[in-house]
């Protein structure tokens, strides 16, 4: 009598846990095996799985940031806005930024969408809401973004009531200046103007009014026309 060999048990895929040291391929394998997991990031080869997000320290400022960027996106054909998309930067970095603003590949953007619908490469602008994650967002993540060529980086430090907007210049991040009216103007996305103190205070009416001034500027019109070529 021929005995049937015992079936081997399938190998279990380990769960993602903060502090794991993985490359991007193993990170994705484990992430895809955890469909319940909403967010996880690979930064400089280290896994970060955030805790549950609070409303005033993350959810509310995140929403206000998206309202501002969303209005710019609607008025600017040729660009895309994403909320917490997975971004394949390199073998050691696969973040999920709170927001990305990117020029479409067909319009000359530096990132692309993969066949499986992930961002590959560096979006032109990335924004992060930094509460408990401030040390990461201003440390390893900032270095990874700079090295991979993300041209502008916004970090909103909620507890400190501070917003930094960095611009990539000669391989280094330098702060964009705040003018005498308290407004920062993007160097990559003409017309993307931000009344910083009003955003920090939740005065979204003023934030959107200043943005509309930027959208009405000649520089924004020229930018849109250039994207349409």
Report the distance separating Cα 204 and Cα 140, nearest Å: 31
Taking the CA atoms of residue 97, residue 37, residue 67 and residue 214 in that order, the dihedral angle to the nearest 10 degrees is: 20
Give residue limits of the domains in the chain. Answer: 24-227
Q: Quick one: pLDDT band at residue 84, thresholds 50, 70, 90?
A: very high
What lies within 8 Å, CB to CB, of 46 at 6+ separation is 19, 20, 21, 140
CB-CB contact of 155 with 128 (8 Å): yes
Q: Give per-residue pLDDT as tens, 141-177.
A: 999 999 999 999 999 999 999 999 999 999 999 999 9
pLDDT at 51 over 90: no
Report the 10 Å Cβ neighbour count for 69. 24
pLDDT at 209 over 90: yes
Q: Which CATH number fits domain 24-227: 3.30.450.40, 3.40.50.720, 3.30.300.340, 3.90.1570.10?
A: 3.90.1570.10
pLDDT at 9 over 60: no
Residue 160 CB-half CA count within 13 A = 13
Please state the pTM of the whole predicted model: 0.91
pLDDT for res 7: 59
**DSSP states along 98-154:** SEEEEE-GGGT-S-EE-TTS-EES--SEEEEEESTTHHHHTTHHHHHHHHTT--EEE
Q: Let me know the angle formed at the C-alpha of 123 by 121 and 125, rounded to the nearest 5 degrees.
A: 155
């Amino acid at each position: 009598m021929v005995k049937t060999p015992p079936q081997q048990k399938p190998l279990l895929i380990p769960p993602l846990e903060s502090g794991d040291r993985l490359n991007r391929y193993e990170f994705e394998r484990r992430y895809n095996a955890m469909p319940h997991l909403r967010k996880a990031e690979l930064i400089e080869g280290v896994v970060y799985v955030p805790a549950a997000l609070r409303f005033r320290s993350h959810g509310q400022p995140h929403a206000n940031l998206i309202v501002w960027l969303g209005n710019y996106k609607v008025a600017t054909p040729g660009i895309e806005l994403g909320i917490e998309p997975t971004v394949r930067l390199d073998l050691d970095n696969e973040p999920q930024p709170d927001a990305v603003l990117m020029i479409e590949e067909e319009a000359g953007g530096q990132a692309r969408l993969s066949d499986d619908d992930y961002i590959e490469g560096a979006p032109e602008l990335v924004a992060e809401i930094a509460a408990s994650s401030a040390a990461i967002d201003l440390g390893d993540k900032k270095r990874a973004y700079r090295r991979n060529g993300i041209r502008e980086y916004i970090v909103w430090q909620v507890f400190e009531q501070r917003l930094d907007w960095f611009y990539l210049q000669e391989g280094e991040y330098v702060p964009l200046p705040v003018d005498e009216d308290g407004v920062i103007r993007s160097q990559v996305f003409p017309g993307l103007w931000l009344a910083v103190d009003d955003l920090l205070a939740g005065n979204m009416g003023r934030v959107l009014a200043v943005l509309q001034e930027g959208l009405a500027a000649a520089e924004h019109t020229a930018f849109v026309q250039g994207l349409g070529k």
